[in-house]
A and B are shown apart, each in its own frame.
Chain A
Amino acid sequence: MALVPFSYSLRSLAVRRSATVLTVASIGATVAVLAGVLALQQGFSTLFREAGRDDLLVLLRPGAGSEGESFFPRDRAAVLKKSFPEFAQDEAGPLVAGELYLGVRLRKHPALGGGETNVPIRGVERRSFELTGAGLRVLDGGRRFRWGHDEVIVGRKLVSRIAGCAVGRRIRLNTTEFEVVGVFDVEGPYASEIWGDFERLREALQRNGYSRLVGRLAPGADLRALREKLSGHKQIQAKLLTEREYLTSQTAALSGALLFLGTFLGLVMGAAAVFTGTNTMLAALAARTHEIGILLSLGFRPGAIFFAFLLESLLLGLLGGVVGCLLVLPLHGVETGTTNFATFTEVAFAFRVSPTVLGVAALFAVGLGLLGGLLPAWSAASKLPTEALRRR
């Protein structure tokens, strides 16, 4: 079967420029919205998932969904720290640390319009820097807080988002003022937190225990056995997760909401884009009936005409996809922040226009083009040459 030359489809698009631009714009906008929401979701969930370490163990109170809900009295935690050979050991003892976690009320940076938000604060112990804080690095111009002093270090991502998060400034927690002595950077969601000495923060915030315990799994130790041991233990009841499991669980609610939003907007707008796409193609068709008659009388089979018109619509979809992707690409790496529903604290993360996002967007665009083109193409192919050639 002789196919209608590809240039015919291309030229047809070029001839009816305004209609083409309009259709491409509506498909592009739809694709951009879908890709934008997906990029947000990807940025958020990879931040948590990829930072999770499999050999780092997190212990929570049974039934607690996040460390904000979890609590260990100090005496019970002390027993826990010592009793399990599954935790790695060195000369200084078991590699376990207790941490205090609380979302504190602070004001957003004036550049973000002020307003209150909840910023996670983490009281850490010395060993935390070998566990949660392994790889933590204080940026130039600052230093780590000193143990026993009212000093804190703030995550890099807070500097531009939260008021007062700069070296030399003071943050008031309840009735105590803490001096910011450094800005730190670290992988994962921790770069949106404020860190200080557990003892000092515990006293200032009037807490009397830990929120969670973290420990390193000894090489070769059996995670499952430890998990069973802990859940069956009489005095110490604890839920054991790897850090990766814990962080992944923290993304479920917001990720789900974003995916729901993206799907909803994508479907509704996609429907509209298909309708307008079909409609503009049909309108164009009406004006081109004569042309189709000529094609048919030149000997092109209806199948060839069907493909030519479908191709035209696919090209529209593809162009729309390219426009949509180009629209969202500048978003890549743009930092934003929102409240994570799991802990009700703010977390900063960057849009991630990953290959997956672009792939989904492109497929979606082509799908829209295909759906929008089926009907007009079929209608074009089913014309009779004599009728199509006849002028009204």
Chain B
Amino acid sequence: MTVPLRLIPRNLFASPLVALRSLLTLASLVVAVFLLCILRSVVANLDAGVQASSGRRLVVQSAVSLFVDLPLSYQAKIESVPGVAETTVFQWFGGYYQERSNFFAQFAIDHEPFLSMYPEVSLVQGSAEDWLRGRTACLIGVDLARRFGWQVGDTIPITGGIFPRAGDAPWEFRVAAIYRSSSANVDNHTLFFHFDYLRESLESGEARGPRGAGTYVVQLAPGADPIAVAREIDALFAGGPQRVQTSSEAEFQRQFVSMVGSVPTFLGSIGGGVLFAIVLAVLNTMLMAARERTVDLGILKALGFTDATVFALLLLESLLLAGVGGVLGVGLALLCEPVFGAVLGPMFGGFSIPRSTLLLGLGLAVGVGLAAGLLPAWRASRLRCVEALRAEA
């Protein structure tokens, strides 16, 4: 059996009106697939940090509040706990570049252990020696570097929100290296700098602000039991002055997802409902269009096309329309990925569309194509030529 493939585009664009309807159906599908990709990705990205977390790192934070610092004296005590290999401070800096709206995260960290504790972070430009040596050195993520056009060797002025410098002058950090993280738990949109620089500036009075550490990140020694180590650290400070809460990196990340609350579920259900409505409407118009072609099909059959050929022709037509819609929808979503990355990235630590979501989008399109194609195709293959020719459009 040979299917006259040439007929497919001719049918889809039989007249200006039919062509318009085909294009509108296509456009609706593109929108549906696009929406599916974007909404699913937003939800998936919220969770990506949790999923990608390392099981060998623990985070020690205040049990009282996310906004309370732990005393610096805690670090040595935590390091004395058996099973703890290395630790680093993570202090939220809360500054901004030029405008408050230029939001991105900055952390003061212990520069030496940081690189060995985070093997997922690799330097793509600049050198580790430069990072270790310079007092004002900083590491910036590739996305951040691209956003502001920063390069290795540049000096970045950051106004301290929580840690103002004397005279409200901005802090100045020199870019020692640009990093790329291969894992979603560290985003590519952060600036890291030496905690020693912050501490010394506070001690010398060059800057003002709380003197402590927001969190300590603990690298477990090989073979150490995370739960036992966490319990032991918590017990160290149970009597004060600040109680701590030690959790796995995944748990730590999850609290931020939990803060966003029910918004993802809310979005998901909205998206699902609307997607359903769009798909139904697309299906309906495709079925209506097929019904009007009874006479055409009668002619094909009168010319000698077999039932199977007519079946294949109609099914392929529907699949082609849906398939093109799916590909365009996925393409549009990919095209918009950087735009969403720029808008949502600084807040949510990056935005990327998972491969599985792209496949789902294509699957949805093909599913619509099948559903809208099978019934008319089956009906057409059963059609008796004489009746079809007599039918009125």
Contact = CB atoms under 8 A, between A and B. Distances in A.
A81 to B, nearest CB: 21
Contact of B285 (A257, A271, A276): A276
Nearest to B288: A283
A269 B271 CA distance: 9
Given A260-B343, A286-B17, A64 B161 contact: yes
Contact of A276 (B28, B162, B259, B263): B28
Given A29-B273, A272-B31, A282-B24, A392 B393 contact: yes
A36 B274 CA distance: 13
Interface in B4-38: 17, 20-21, 24-25, 27-28, 31-32, 34-35
B52 interface: no
Given A69-B161, A276-B285, A279-B25, A105 B65 contact: yes
B77 interface: no
Interface string B261-291: 1110001001001100110111011001100
Contacts of A118: 65-67, 259
A185 to B, nearest CB: 23
Given A33-B270, A118-B65, A344 B259 contact: yes
Contacts of A71: 210
B94 A69 contact: yes
A19 B280 CA distance: 10
Contact of A272 (B32, B289, B295): B32
Nearest to B209: A71
B270 A276 contact: no
Contacts of A69: 94, 161-162
A361 to B, nearest CB: 15
B281 A23 contact: yes
Interface in B120-164: 159-162, 164
Contacts of A22: 277, 280-281, 284
A279 B35 contact: no
Interface stretch (A147-155, A213-221, A295-303, A335-343): A335-343
Interface string A88-116: 00000000000000111100100000011
Interface string A268-308: 11011001101110110011000000000000000000000
B241 interface: yes
Contacts of B20: 282, 375
Contacts of B242: 174, 206
A62 interface: yes
A16 B291 CA distance: 15
A63 B259 contact: no
A117 B259 contact: yes
Most B CB within 10 A of own CB, among A175, A278, A336: A175
Interface string A3-32: 000000000000000110011011001100
Contact of A174 (B243, B282, B288, B392): B243
B284 A338 contact: no
A197 interface: no
B392 A275 contact: no
Given A23-B281, A33-B270, A174 B100 contact: no
A379 interface: yes
A269 B35 contact: yes
A63 B24 contact: no
A233 interface: no
A276 B281 contact: yes
Given A173-B64, A279-B25, A206 B285 contact: no
Contacts, number: 152
A265 interface: yes
Contacts of A102: 65, 67-68
Nearest to A339: B259
Nearest to B285: A279
B335 interface: no
Contacts of B243: 174-175
A283 B288 CA distance: 7
Contacts of A261: 267
B179 to A, nearest CB: 26
Contact of B281 (A26, A104, A271, A346): A26
Contacts of B112: none
Nearest to B254: A115
Nearest to A104: B65
B64 A104 contact: yes
A188 interface: no
A19 B65 contact: no
Nearest to B28: A275
Contacts of A279: 21, 24-25, 28, 281, 285
A276 B64 contact: no
B260 interface: yes
B240 interface: yes
A193 to B, nearest CB: 14
A46 B322 CA distance: 45
A286 B292 contact: yes
B25 to A, nearest CB: 6
Contacts of B239: 175
B181 to A, nearest CB: 23
Interface string A37-72: 000000000000000000000000011110011010
A30 B270 CA distance: 9
B322 to A, nearest CB: 14
Contacts of B289: 283
Contacts of B172: none
B392 A268 contact: no
B346 to A, nearest CB: 12
Interface of B: 17, 20-21, 24-25, 27-28, 31-32, 34-35, 62-68, 94, 100, 159-162, 164, 168, 210, 239-243, 245, 255, 258-263, 267, 270, 273-274, 277-278, 280-282, 284-285, 288-289, 292, 295, 343, 347, 392-393
28 contacts: A18-B284, A26-B274, A26-B281, A63-B160, A105-B245, A115-B258, A117-B259, A117-B261, A174-B241, A175-B243, A206-B242, A257-B347, A265-B270, A268-B35, A269-B274, A275-B28, A276-B281, A280-B284, A282-B17, A282-B21, A283-B289, A286-B393, A336-B262, A338-B260, A338-B261, A338-B262, A341-B347, A391-B392
Nearest first, the 8 A-B pairs at minimum CB distance are A276-B281, A272-B31, A115-B258, A339-B259, A275-B28, A283-B288, A26-B277, A279-B24
Given A64-B161, A265-B270, 15 more contacts: A26-B277, A65-B161, A102-B68, A104-B64, A105-B65, A117-B259, A175-B240, A205-B65, A275-B27, A275-B28, A286-B393, A341-B347, A344-B66, A344-B259, A379-B17
